[in-house]
Amino acid sequence: MELMLSNLVEAKRQIQSTIHKLKETVKTLEVKENPNRYKSQITLAQRRIEAFEISVFLIEREISNLSENS
């Protein structure tokens, strides 16, 4: 169980790092000249951010459940 907990913590850290990078990518694309040209890339990045944020929520819930049961 300890290994699973540490794996979840590391997965959460990696996902949060990816979220941060995606948010920076969106900011960069939005300030470019003619941001409409990058609309599909911005939308894709925003959808990925949402999916990863759900993942973080679920990982945090699982970490909490594991911590309570140990």
Residue 70 tokens read as 């140990």
pTM of the model: 0.92
Q: Is residue 7 scored above 80 in pLDDT? A: yes
pLDDT at 25: 98
Is 51 exposed, middle or buried (CB count within 10 Å of its CB: 0-12, 13-18, 19+)? Answer: exposed
3-state secondary structure of 1: coil
Confidence of residue 69 (pLDDT cuts 50, 70, 90): confident
> Phi and psi at residue 10, in whole multiples of 5°?
-70, -40
